[in-house]
Every structure is written in structure tokens, then in C-alpha cells.
């Protein structure tokens, strides 16, 4: 029964996000940008395949993160603002189930949007090179995993603050996550106090560079099984931590 309720909330959230015109605008624009990578590749000096790969994968990541920032941060807020959350929670639905249903619903939306973008990327790449490296599929999967992890981040922030603040905080986490290597290097050159602070930031915030496989695609390097396994393990562990923390915060909210 509990899983049926979770699935119902997941599907309802998925349908709700599909009604958002912003989603269609972002996905449509992303497809156009990826298609335009053909033009960008044509003006490069013998590096057209690399330009298309890097340009398209970067565009895919950026647009999926924008979807997370502007749609994911409003999921819980809209329910509270419209008072519909009272109706849902008055039924045999726990807060944990409601929260997780929202998360899985948005993850499903991101998956569909990501697959549409990925299809255009693969079509463009094949049209130009007549081949698709195996690394491209792994890179697409890693981008979707990163977007899912940041969905958990945005949902956590949205459970106790406004959508605008949630988007800003999630964007900040994204910047720190992709600059984790720089944070670590700075910590090694800083004073003892600052070093402790920077190392704390390094270990506390997600290392999003683990999901960056764009260079593997550009240089046609297929990730090995160990690397893929570590990426999946990191994703599951960190996302589970965020969801547990988010549920704990959401349970204490007073509506």
C-alpha cells in the first residue's frame, strides 16, 4: 500500500511538471542549442567532433540543472502555497512518502528531458562522425545522475526556504561541487584554521567533478567498470544522505 501511494505521488508530480510551460521551453531551447553545435563544429579547425561533443554535453548539463533550479525548488513550495499539502497529508500519506514522491517525480521528469536532449546529441554526433563512442553514453548517464543528486539538494533547501533562495543555494552547491579540486588545493596552502574550514567544505559538499566524463568522450576514453561503480556508489550514498536529511527537516515543518 505504501509503495502504491509513493508511486501515485511520483506520477502526479511527473504530470504536474509536464504542465509547466517553462519545461517545454527549456527542453526545446536545449535541443536547438545542441543542434547548433553542428555549426560550431563546422567553423573549428579540424576539431569538429570534439567541439560537438563538448558543446552538446555542456549544454545538456546546463539545461538539466536549470530545470532543477527553477522547477525542483518550487515543488514543495507550491503545495504549501496552494494549501493542497493539507489535503494530501490528511489522508493516509506520511510526510516521508510525500517528500520522496516529489523527488522521484522530478527525477522522472529530468530523465525524460535528458533522454530527449541525449537523442539529439547522438543524432548530431552520428551525422557528423558516423559513429558514437561508448563513452558518450556513460557521459550522458553521469549528467543525469548529477542532475538527480542536485534535485535532492534543491528539494532539501525548498523544504525550509523560498524557491528563489533554494535556487541560489543549489547554484552555490553546484559551483562548489565543480570547484572541489580548487578548494582542496587552496586548503593545502592555507593557514591551519583556514585549512580546516576548506577541508570541511571539500568533504561536506558533493564532489560533482566525479560525474564529469566529458573529457572521456572528447578523447574517446571509455570509463572502466571500477570508475562507473564508484560513480554509482557515490551517487547512491550522497543522495541517500540528502534525502534522509530532507525528510528529517520536512517532518519538523509546520504548515
The larger pLDDT score, comparing residue 130 to residue 108, is at 108
pLDDT tens for 60-89 read 999 999 999 888 888 777 777 777 776 777
CB atoms < 10 A from the CB of 208, how many? 21
The larger pLDDT score, comparing residue 161 to residue 152, is at 152
pLDDT tens for 155-177 read 999 888 888 888 899 999 999 99
Contact 9, 93 (CB under 8 A): yes
Task: Give the chain's domain count.
Answer: 1
Question: What average pLDDT does this structure show over 8-19?
Answer: 89
Enclosing domain of residue 107:
3-251
Contact 51, 37 (CB under 8 A): yes
What is the structure's pLDDT at 67? 92
Residue 2 in this model has a pLDDT that exceeds 80 = no
Q: Is the dihedral of CA 124, 36, 112, 219 positive or negative?
A: positive
Amino acid at each position: 500500500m505504501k509503495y502504491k501511494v509513493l508511486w501515485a505521488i511520483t506520477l502526479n508530480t511527473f504530470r504536474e511538471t509536464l504542465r509547466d510551460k517553462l519545461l517545454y521551453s527549456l527542453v526545446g531551447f536545449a535541443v536547438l542549442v545542441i543542434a547548433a553545435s553542428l555549426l560550431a563544429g563546422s567553423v573549428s579547425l579540424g576539431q569538429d567532433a570534439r567541439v560537438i561533443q563538448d558543446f552538446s554535453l555542456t549544454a545538456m548539463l546546463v539545461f538539466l540543472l536549470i530545470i532543477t533550479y527553477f522547477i525542483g525548488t518550487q515543488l514543495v513550495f507550491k503545495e504549501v502555497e496552494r494549501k493542497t499539502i493539507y489535503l494530501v497529508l490528511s489522508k493516509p500519506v506520511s510526510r516521508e512518502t510525500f517528500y520522496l514522491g516529489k523527488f522521484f517525480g522530478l527525477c522522472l521528469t529530468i530523465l525524460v528531458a535528458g533522454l530527449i536532449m541525449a537523442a539529439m546529441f547522438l543524432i548530431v554526433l552520428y551525422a557528423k562522425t558516423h559513429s558514437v563512442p561508448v563513452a558518450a553514453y556513460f557521459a550522458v548517464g553521469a549528467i543525469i545522475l548529477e542532475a538527480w543528486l542536485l534535485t535532492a539538494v534543491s528539494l532539501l533547501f525548498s523544504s525550509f526556504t523560498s524557491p528563489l533562495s533554494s535556487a541560489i543555494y543549489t547554484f552555490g552547491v553546484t559551483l562548489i561541487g565543480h570547484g572541489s579540486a580548487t578548494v582542496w588545493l587552496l586548503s593545502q596552502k592555507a593557514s591551519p584554521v583556514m585549512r580546516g574550514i576548506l577541508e570541511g567544505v571539500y568533504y561536506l559538499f558533493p564532489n560533482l567533478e566525479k560525474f564529469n566524463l566529458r573529457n572521456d568522450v572528447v578523447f574517446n576514453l571509455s570509463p572502466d567498470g571500477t570508475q562507473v561503480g564508484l560513480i554509482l556508489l557515490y551517487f547512491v550514498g550522497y543522495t541517500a544522505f540528502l534525502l534522509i536529511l530532507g525528510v528529517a527537516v520536512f517532518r519538523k515543518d509546520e504548515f
